[in-house]
Structures are given as structure tokens and as C-alpha cells.
Structure 1
Amino acid sequence: MFVQELAPLGSLGWSALVAVLPLATVLVLLGVVRMKAHWAALIGLAVALAAGIAVFGMPVGQAISGAFSGAAFGLWPIMWIVVNALWIYRLTVRTGHFDVLRRSFANVSDDQRIQALIVAFCFGALMEALAGFGAPVAISAVMLVALGFSPVKAAVVALVANTAPVAFGAMGTPVVTLAQVTGLPLDQVSSIVGRQTPLLALFVPLLLVVIVDGKRGLRETWLPALVCGVAFGVVQFAVSNFVSAQLADIGAALAGAAALVLVVGVRRRGEGTDERKDVVKAYVPYALIIVIFSLAQVPPIKKLLDQATWKFHWPLLNVAAPNGKPVSGNNFTFTLLSTGGTLVLIAGVITAVFLGVSLKDTAREWLATIKELRFAILTVMGVLALAYVMNLSGQTATIGNLIAGAGAALAFFSPVLGWLGVAVSGSDTSANALFGALQVTAATKTGLPADLLAAANSSGGVLGKMISPQNLTIACVAASLPGEEGMLLRKVLPWSIGLLLLMCLIVAGQASPVLSWMLP
């Protein structure tokens, strides 16, 4: 058994400096050197392996096996859902129904600032609620490009919009995971996250109109952006606190869209000469996704689907945390039917039948999607392999413990820990699994509320998603910007850091008399 050591160099600070090198390598290669993302990911993986083996003492065989485990997770379920989501898009493009959908959105407003709110913020939040794992960014980006956005602007808008709903995404998976790893009641964790991320919803729509049209966009469309954000935030707060964490984003997304349409109205039909049946067909693929994902959460159906799940011990891995307990990363869970990618695949098959696409053309489009995503698949597999090596060797825990040692300032820095976890893994769920218990332990030592810091891990984590290499790659592929991950990173990093600072101030305020009234 390999037991992780938090300070292999004798100093937690120096050990953390070595531990951060893999992630720093990837970000520098992407943002400064402007290297292709798949090469940056592979070089970062090599650095992680070198640090894990030479400095943290992880056996070579276990380190390499851990990398393969991470790569497998990157392939399934993450890229599995992205492949099938983009495949559905290709089917609708092939049949012309995506143009119908584009004209339908344009009939709500031909103003790109409003379209960004409808597609990226509201519709993207609905996709996050149901699927997560990159699907909202992929689908939103391609829809925005089809509406006439430049590829760069479409990608940036899709990435920045994918923040406020993330903590309750994939039917509440991140907060459910957080409750499991911390031992805190789900309703308690959900309640506090639901008093943090709704505040992001007030700002993100305003940022989106600034990204689309600068100061003029803010000056001319602040009201619909604010109304949309308020409606989203209020419903997310109410549902997460008083109904269900799993339904928080669905209600919030629908409320935001409804409020936006009420404010801007529906303009008279311009280029919308489509027949009603064609408009219905254009919406069918996304309606199917909503219906299928919703049905998959019905307890009897969920139980049936979960039977096709295999959890097994990953070969050669035998890793224990510093306390001597085996880490969860030793095991791998393969979900065949209940995973989002399979559910989207089912929706795609029904879509193909409904739209009259032949079996041959359906298969050809699926294979073409694989070909289009080949470098993105390699990138995501490389990034997740890097994340797993960092996690299993103890590098990530070392960084986390350094931040957790901030003492009285921990409340301010706790969201940074979640942000870092998501930046590495691309998943708020993974960051919560990684740092949730650590936040609770650190809170206990410093006398801060454990549930507040646990929630801060998830709320801060959502802001790291836009700079995660895997999500940057997904955005590049969706917006037809191959190899431009570094350029996107430079554009979204300021927004990520700015919103993170806001979340840090919110959590610090909630830990003090200033905003403690916000807590349940």
C-alpha cells in the first residue's frame, strides 16, 4: 500500500510548490506558450508523474495505473456525453432543423445580447441541470455560432455563462457528493450553497451583455439581464432551500427564461416563415433530452438503470490517505445506462427516427463526430489523467492542506480551494469529493462553521470551470476554434478570477457578523 505524505520535502510550503507544478505547466503552455491543448495536457501529465514518483514517492506502477484510470474517466463518462450531445446537433444541422431552431430563438429577439441570455444562460443552465459534464458549453456554443455570433465570442459567452448553475448541475450531483463525503445533511449543504450561487446569478447575466457588446450592452440591456438573473437566483434559492437540490437548476432556468421573455416580449416574425410543425420538430431533440433525463430520475426507473453499473477495484492501485484509510480513487465506477452520455444517445436515436434520418446517415454522423472530437478526446483524457495522478499521489491534498492552514483567513480562501479543484479536474463534483472533507476538518480546527466552508468549496468551484483545460477544449471544438484553448484561457481568466474574488468576499462576510444573517 502506498500511503500519501503531505510534506515529503519536510515543509508543506515547499511540497505544495512542487505539487502545483503540473497545473501551472498546463496553464502556462496554454496561455503563454500557446501550445496545442492535447500536447499541453500530455506534458502536464508527464510533470505530474515525475513529481508524484520522484518527490511524493508513489510507486511507478501505481502512478501509471492511476493515469490510465483518469484517462478512462475522461473518456467515460465525460467525453461520452459530449460526443453524443454534438452528434444530436449534427443531426439537426443535416436535416435543416437547427436553422429552424435558430430562427425560433431569433424571433424572441434579434438582439445578440438577449440571445446570449436566452441560449447561454437560461438554456445552458437547463442543460447543466440535466446533463452537466461539458454538454451545456458544447450545445450553447454551437447554437450561438448558428445565431451569428463570432466563434470566439460564442465560446467565451458559453464558458462564462456556465457558472451559476454548476453546483446544482447534473440533477444536484455536486452537492449530493459534497454531503456524502462530509457527512453533513444534504438539505443543510444545499441550503447554504443556495444562499451563495444565486448571488452569482445576479452578476453573470450582466457580464454576458458586457462580453457581447461592452459598456453599451450594459447600458442598453441591464434591465432584462438583471430581471433574468434575479428570477434565476430567487428560484434557485427557494428550490434548493425548501424543495430539492436536484430540481434547483431546472426551476431556476425556466424561471429565468420566462422572466426574460416577459420583459423583452416576442418580436413579430421576421425571417420566421417556418411552419409550426417544423418548429416543433426543431425543439423535439432538446425536449427529448429533458424528458429522458427527468424520467431517469424517477426512483423505480433510476433503480433499474443503476443495475447496469459496475464498481470495481482499478488494477494495481492500492493508495491510502495520510490517515491510513484507502482513497476512493482505488475504485472505478462504470455506469452504462444511467450516465448522461447514454441518455443523450437514446435521445439522439429517437431524434434520428423522428427527423427521418436513415440508419446509414445516422451512423455516419456519429463517426464524423468522433473524428471531429479526436483531439478534444485526447486532451480531456490527458487532463483527467493528470488530475488523477495529482490526487492519488497526494499532490492535490498537499496544496489543499496549505490553503486550509490559512487560519482565520480560511473563510476568505476556502472558495479558492474549490476553484483550484475544478480547474484541475473540470468537475465541481470531483472538487467536492477531493476537498469537501478537508474543508470540514479545517473549519473544525479554526472554529469556523463546517457547513459554510463545505458549501464554499462547491460555490467557489463553479468559477474554475471556465478555465479548466477540458472545458476550454470542449468550447473550442463546439465553436470551431481548433487549438485556440490558450486564447480562450486569456479571455476568460479575468472573469473567473473576478467572480472568484466576489465569492471569497461573500463567504468571508457570511463567516462574520456582516453577512451571517444570510445563513440558515
Structure 2
Amino acid sequence: ILSLTVLVWGLPAIKGAINRATTPIWNVPWLHNAVTRAAPVVTKLTPEAARYDFNWLSATGTGCFIAAIVAGLVLGVAPGQLAKIFWHTLKRMKLAVIAISFMLGLGFTTRYSGLDAVLGLAFTRTGWLFPFFGTFLGWLGVALTGSDTSSNALFGSLQRITAQQLNLDPVLMCAANSAGGVMGKMVDAQSICVATSATNQVGNEGTIFRHVFWHSIALGAIVGVIVLLYAYVFPGAVPHGLTIVK
């Protein structure tokens, strides 16, 4: 039920229709287009949009919530019992929700203050080792924002521009940003807070972080070495779209 619901919820046609019907969008006052990104982060002066999409119905979490209700009813759980379970879960997750909210706020603060660009530009000073450290740029983006998608949005343009300046493959470095970001997922605060709440280990976030941090660094380093090999040893192995072989 969950897989089917999430699959249907994610279909572009359905998601788009729900968004058009139920998602209000407004510009954040005093922030929308008030911050401008400049070279070398972008090729030209680009105002940073600050729009809030309240996609309360089209969000994947809403699909999961509906799937939980349907599954409960199919299993014979009474509506009253479902409400009690929901309330118990809500109380159990309250600290995690607060922590996730603050981490999301940190991600937006990082973005609109220009801190992400400063950190990214620092990595570009690594010269020929940029393929290795560029991977950790993606790692850093996910560690800060909790999302590989957000990391790609933050640093994707910077990766491409820097790769072009260093005569590296932009496709490789954008892919490295995403692959490195996956290795940072285990140390981002949102994931840790959700995990501790789901496993009834609230209060052990620091301990978990300390135990997984070096694993995350090691895995990121392995990906970085692989990217280095692709950049200088096997550059022809980097795919650039579909090629039809006759």
C-alpha cells in the first residue's frame, strides 16, 4: 500500500495537478530577490529567489500518511485507535520535528547568507585535487541541508563553473557532488533525529553522530578517489548522455 501510494503520489501529472489545485506560493518579504549571486558561483549576476511553496497535499509525507491510514483500516484498526496511535507518534516525534525545523532553517541561512558559496570557493583552491575535495563539497551540502537535491541546487553551478576553469569534466564534477552528498546523509542532523525518534533513542544523537562521522568521511574519501581516477586516468569512461551504437 505504501509503495503504491508513494508511486502514484510522485507521478508528475498527479503531483502537478495537486500542486495547481492546493499549493499556495508566496514570496518571502524582504528576502525574495534581495540577495544576488555573482561570479564565479554563477556566470552572471543572479537574484536569489525566496519563494515558499506550501505543498501540504502533494508532499511525499502526505502520501505516506494516507497510506498509513488505509493500511490501518485494511488491517482492521478502528479509527479511534488510529487517532491514538497518531497522537502518540506526534508526541514521540515532537523534538525531532523541532530539530529538523531548525536544521532546515540553518540550510536556508547558509544559502541566503552566502556561506555555502564561501565554503564552496574554499574547496576550489585545491587545484588538481579538486575532484577529490569537490566530492566533499557535495558531502558538506547534504550535511548542512539534509538533502542531496538541496546540495545539488546549492553547489551544482559552482561545481560546473569550477570544473570548466580547471579543465575538468563538468558532468563528472556534478555527478561527484551528488555521489559525495549521499555519503553525507548519515551525518546530517535531520536523518539522525528521525532515526533516534523512530528507534526510541532520543537523547543519543551526539553518540550516534560520533560513531558514524568517521564512517561517513571514509566513504566520502573512497568516492573522492574514484572521482580522481575518472578525472585523470579514465576520463573517457564518463558518460555524456545516451549514445546509439550502430
Give the C-alpha shift of residue 382 in structure 1: 1.3
What one-letter code is carried by the residue in structure 2 that aligns with 1:502?
I
Q: Deviations over 1:418-448 (max 9, x none)?
A: 0001011111011000000000010111110
Moved more, 492-501 or 302-311: 302-311
Give the C-alpha shift of residue 508 in structure 1: 0.5
Counterpart contact for 1:406–1:413, Cα < 8 Å:
yes
Which of 15, 29, 37 aligns to 1:321? It is 37
Query: TM-score normalised to the size of structure 2?
Result: 0.89
Q: Deviations over 1:139-188 (max 9, x none)?
A: xxxxxxxxxxxxxxxxxxxxxxxxxxxxxxxxxxxxxxxxxxxxxxxxxx
Q: Distance in 2 between matches of 1:303 and 1:324?
A: 30
Q: Does residue 400 of the first structure (1) align with residue 112 of the second (2)?
A: no
- What are the equivalent positions in structure 2 for 1:101-500 lying under 5 Å apart? 288-307=1-20, 308-317=22-31, 318-322=34-38, 324-328=45-49, 330-500=50-220
Give the C-alpha shift of residue 483 in structure 1: 0.8
Q: Distance in 1 between matches of 2:105 and 2:9?
A: 29
Query: TM-score normalised to the size of structure 1?
Result: 0.43
What one-letter code is carried by the residue in structure 2 that aligns with 1:487?
T
Give the C-alpha shift of residue 413 in structure 1: 1.1
Q: Deviations over 1:249-299 (max 9, x none)?
A: xxxxxxxxxxxxxxxxxxxxxxxxxxxxxxxxxxxxxxx111112223444
SS of residue in 2 equivalent to 1:363: helix
> Relative to structure 1, is the Cα distance of residues 298 and 390 closer, same or farther in structure 2, using a 3 angstrom cutoff?
closer
Alignment-derived partner of residue 519 in structure 1 = 238
Give the C-alpha shift of residue 387 in structure 1: 1.8
Give the C-alpha shift of residue 511 in structure 1: 0.4
Counterpart contact for 1:414–1:439, Cα < 8 Å:
yes
Instruction: Show structure 1 runs of 5+ residues with no match.
Output: 1-287
Q: Distance in 2 between matches of 1:302 and 1:385?
A: 25
Alignment-derived partner of residue 272 in structure 1 = none
SS of residue in 1 equivalent to 2:161: helix
SS of residue in 2 equivalent to 1:312: strand
SS of residue in 2 equivalent to 1:356: coil
Counterpart contact for 2:139–2:181, Cα < 8 Å:
yes
SS of residue in 1 equivalent to 2:53: strand
SS of residue in 1 equivalent to 2:47: coil
Counterpart contact for 1:405–1:442, Cα < 8 Å:
no
Give the C-alpha shift of residue 337 in structure 1: 2.3
SS of residue in 1 equivalent to 2:173: helix
Alignment-derived partner of residue 224 in structure 2 = 504
Give the C-alpha shift of residue 388 in structure 1: 1.3
Structure having the higher helix fraction is 1
Q: Deviations over 1:342-378 (max 9, x none)?
A: 1011101211211222222211211111111111111
Counterpart contact for 2:9–2:60, Cα < 8 Å:
no
Give the C-alpha shift of residue 303 in structure 1: 3.1
Counterpart contact for 2:56–2:62, Cα < 8 Å:
yes
Give the C-alpha shift of residue 325 in structure 1: 1.7
What one-letter code is carried by the residue in structure 2 that aligns with 1:309?
T
Aligned residues: 231
Give the C-alpha shift of residue 386 in structure 1: 1.6
Counterpart contact for 2:186–2:212, Cα < 8 Å:
yes
| More RCO (CA 8 Å, sep 6+) | 1
Q: Distance in 2 between matches of 1:303 and 1:388?
A: 25
Give the C-alpha shift of residue 464 in structure 1: 0.5
Instruction: Show structure 2 runs of 5+ residues with no match.
Output: 39-43, 240-246
SS of residue in 2 equivalent to 1:335: coil
Give the C-alpha shift of residue 510 in structure 1: 0.2
Quote the RMSD (CA, aligned, Å). 1.5
Point out the structure with max Rg over C-alpha. 1
What one-letter code is carried by the residue in structure 2 that aligns with 1:332?
Y
Alignment-derived partner of residue 264 in structure 1 = none
Q: Distance in 1 between matches of 2:12 and 2:160?
A: 31
